Amino acid sequence: MSSVLLENITKSFKDYQAVKELNLEVKKGEFFTFLGPSGCGKTTTLRMIAGFYYPTTGRVLFGDRDMTRVVPEKRNTGMVFQNYALFPHMTVFENVAFGLKVRRLGSAEIKKKVEQSLKKVRLEAFIGRQVSQLSGGQQQRVALARSLVIEPEILLLDEPLSNLDARLRDEMRTEILRLQRDYGITTIYVTHDQVEALSMSDRIAVFNFGECQQVGTPKEIYNEPANDFVAAFIGETNLIPVIWDGKGGETLQFSWEENKNKKVVAETLFSSYERDHHLSVSIRPEAVEVFDEEPLNLQNVYEGNVELAQFTGASVNLFISLGEKTVQALILNNQTRREPQPGDKVWVRFPESHVRVIPRVMNQPARSMST
């Protein structure tokens, strides 16, 4: 087991840069997730760690060993592919034993290790099956067993759950986490699914346009997004472009870009800000408060009309038009209370402590962002 250090990594293909000046450290035993939309460079980065690509510039280190130019077969990483890449002409046993045979272990030892690792993924009964006879979830577990049995230094998972249906996905999520904790292995997990990322990871790196936008724990990423891309990509959020007015005592004062008469007050500071950055206010739907009557003596209160109320079981999604902007609010399904209906006049409030002011990077030339 070892840590992974990516130093100033850039990867260019013929006509575009897939990864730009990436610096990352994955700690020993950590469950680390690369999260981002497709084409953001996360899989490219993972493949550079596995050795299938070599960085154009920069270095890849496992612990203090420079692995930048080492061939894949000498890296001792265990990779689980999106399509599992099980060898279709081999049985479950032969698939799992492959890496051990390459390492020239004795057949008794191979047998013992394969059985152990299949037990860990609860497939010991399927040891003699052809892989084509297994269901998607079982194939996934064979792929996991095959990667783990070679006792890799780093486990690499490339969107491993994207080919499974929703129910199996939940099951495999816990399974993967359990195995990772069992083995205590450094794990890098690539996904575009924010729920997976938030629920599984110790830390997350959010990618876009080949750049790392933010690194942090799931809580940090969700509660303190570094910019509007991160805020919008992770969970739902309301983004309102604003202009800086100045300081007002303990708080920061802003007005709406689209309507200067509307003001926003914020307590929290944004983490990084450069002079030429345009700013937005981000507020999560569950933080938005909704009132039937105008609340008095409170800031960040706006009058609006309910456009749509979506009942989702545990909660109700309200889409409330504030004139220039429609915001989303999430209220819990409280059976004793009548929910606002479309057409109702309501007042919404953005609590100052939950308003986050962040730089805008979407819909304008990408900028490098430090966190």
- Which residues are near another protein by CB under 8 A? 50-52, 54, 69-79, 81-83, 85-89, 98-99, 102-103, 146-147, 150
Q: CB-wise, 64 or 73, nearer to another protein? A: 73
Q: CB-wise, 102 or 298, nearer to another protein? A: 102
Closest approach, Cβ 70 to another protein, in A, equals 8
- DSSP tally for the chain: helices H, then strands E: 8, 20
* Distance in angstroms (rounded) separating the CA atoms of residues 40 and 207: 6
Q: How far is CA 315 from the centre of its chain?
A: 24
Q: CB-wise, 131 or 234, nearer to another protein? A: 131
Q: CB-wise, 121 or 309, nearer to another protein? A: 121
Closest approach, Cβ 77 to another protein, in A, equals 6
Q: CB-wise, 42 or 75, nearer to another protein? A: 75
Q: Could you tell me which residues come within 8 angstroms of residue 108 by beta carbon, excluding any fewer than 6 positions away?
A: none
Q: Output the six-digit token pair for 275.
A: 């002079």
Q: CB-wise, 95 or 238, nearer to another protein? A: 95
Cα–Cα distances (Å) from 275 to 131, 227, 272, in that order, read 58, 15, 10
Question: Are the C-beta atoms of residues 191 and 230 closer than 8 Å to each other?
Answer: no
* Distance in angstroms (rounded) separating the CA atoms of residues 97 and 113: 8
Closest approach, Cβ 102 to another protein, in A, equals 4
Q: CB-wise, 90 or 366, nearer to another protein? A: 90
Q: CB-wise, 34 or 270, nearer to another protein? A: 34
| Count of CB atoms situated within 10 Å of the CB of 66 | 12
Closest approach, Cβ 49 to another protein, in A, equals 11
* Distance in angstroms (rounded) separating the CA atoms of residues 113 and 251: 61
Evaluate the CA torsion angle 188, 193, 196, 197 in order and state its sign.
Answer: positive
Q: Output the six-digit token pair for 254.
A: 């802003």
Give 137's DSSP letter: H
The CA angle 40-181-148, to the nearest 5 degrees, is 75
Q: Provide the β-strand partners of residue 342.
A: none
Judged on CB neighbours under 10 Å (0-12, 13-18, 19+), 45 is: buried
Closest approach, Cβ 54 to another protein, in A, equals 5
Closest approach, Cβ 249 to another protein, in A, equals 58
Closest approach, Cβ 167 to another protein, in A, equals 23
Closest approach, Cβ 23 to another protein, in A, equals 22
